[in-house]
Amino acid sequence: MKRKTINTLIILITISFNLIGQHIGVYAKKNGKLCFEKPIFTEEDTQLNNKLRSAKNELVILQNSISISEEKLKGMTFTELEILALKCNNVQDNADGEIEYSVSSGNPLPEDFYAIGVKCNEMHCFVYDPKYLKHENWSKYENAESGIIKMMKIMHETLKSNIVVSDYMLYDYENLNMLYGILRTMKEVYNPDEVAIIIAP
């Protein structure tokens, strides 16, 4: 009974993190090797993870609220690889809690659960750790970049169509633009083959 209560608390804490906002970051690889050991993060607490995970649905919601030309719709329609690229990897409590609960309860992890292990060293935390290697979601740089560009278009149109815009909508849009800027800078400096988007509490 005590074990069950602890597992329930872990889930509730993870859900609470998702509701109050987290930080989006990016790892990058070139020729199979990490470009840097600590990910680069956006600055604001955000709920952007939820939008990235449901990218296709965000487009459907927009279609149902405004009239979109065929040409504009084509420029916002995701490929399956782009959708996968936008699925964030959980780290720290988000990853540890869900994996520990799955092991202790015997329940399988969600099909779209992704995680990257992290640890601390003498310099800083969020240093890459291969402990969750089988749960990692890496994508080609091009798929992540094009997916984010399409998401930016969707969120831009969504903001324009809303009479009242919440602070969180603005935070999410700002973070998405920062995420795109991070990717572009990585491209210029490291020219990575693969990237992994992460969500951290």
pLDDT value for 21: 58
Question: 10-58 pLDDT, tens per residue?
Answer: 333 333 334 445 889 999 999 999 999 899 999 777 788 889 999 999 9
Distance, C-alpha 164 to centroid of its chain: 26
pLDDT value for 28: 98
What's the rounded Cα separation, in Å, for the pair 3 and 70?
54
Longest Cα–Cα distance of the chain, Å, equals 57
Evaluate whether 132 touches 138 at the Cβ level (below 8 Å).
no
Domain ranges of the chain: 2-200
The pTM assigned to this predicted structure is 0.84
Segments of the chain with pLDDT less than 50: 1-20
pLDDT at 60 (0 to 100): 94
The three-class DSSP label of residue 26 is strand
